[in-house]
Amino acid sequence: MENWGYTPEELLPIVAQLAKEYGGYEHSSLSYEKARMLMEAVIYCIREGEDGKEGILAKRPNAKEAYLYGRQVVTDKVRRLQTLYNELILDFRDYGSVCLRESIVEGIPGFLMHYDVKYAPQETLLLLDYPVLANLDAVSGIHAVLEYVESIALEQRFLKRFGDAYVLKVLHAYSADYGELMENICSIILCNGIGHMILRKPMDDGGFDREEYEWLENILQIKLEEGMERYLSDMLTLLMKQSFAEDEELSAYLYRAVADLAKRVQTNLENHCLHRIFFY
């Protein structure tokens, strides 16, 4: 992607105009911290615009055009977040996770209420404590929060396929106090599901006995030499075909978990404690 790379001299007139509007036209001075905040706001909007540039912005626009276009992109993302959240919350399940409930039920409405598109679009405002499979380290503001809620929506789609009773049984088997943990529920259920795929064991045929754990260990020990990540990817593909036919968006999201799952499986395999990741 082309980087428009505006100089500070090109951006300063935009910042100056924002400063006048922020402080009131009768005030001419602004603190260094506020001025820096407004410069960051301008740069943030321009970068958001770069991510979706099209039409007249397919070539390098002047700084003001780029900023205004980017601010509109930010505004549109806020609308998308509001729409997505309204749909999500209608049938939202926290499965007893305090962190998940607080992040979605309390955090997102607070963000929508206080997010400042014009003067501080770069501010995320939320800690986004509940971990999702998407890596949000490099993004902030509405970009981060929208992707976060999109991730939660995908995870909800995955979990609801198994039903509340199944999810809760697996989570209780994982930890008696799982509700207080800051762990991703989706990855716990996904790992357990992969255990079923390895043994070709129906998902509703709950529980693994001693013999099945021995089979799992023998199979995984062989696959360890061939490449654990690739094998678990194959098992995830099998799970998706069986339960989520042609849901490419969900599949792409869940594949993000494979590298971490491979490490967890390998660690528990080496310590002969597969019962800690395959539960029900």
Q: What is the pLDDT of residues 110-146, one digit of tens each?
A: 999 999 999 999 999 999 999 999 999 999 999 999 9
Local structure of 30: helix, strand or coil: coil
**Termini Cα distance of the chain:** 46
Distant-in-sequence, close-in-space partners of 44: CB < 8 Å, separation ≥ 6: 70, 74, 121, 122, 140, 141
Say what the pTM is.
Answer: 0.93
Domain limits of the chain?
A: 8-153, 163-276
Average pLDDT over residues 154-160: 97
Question: Angle, nearest 10°, between helix axes 8-23 and 63-90?
Answer: 60
State residue 207's pLDDT score: 85
Average pLDDT over residues 197-201: 95
CA atoms within 13 A on the CB side of 223: 19
Q: What is the pLDDT of residues 254-269, one digit of tens each?
A: 999 999 999 999 999 9
Decide: residue 270, CB within 10 A, 0-12 exposed, 13-18 middle, 19+ buried.
Answer: exposed
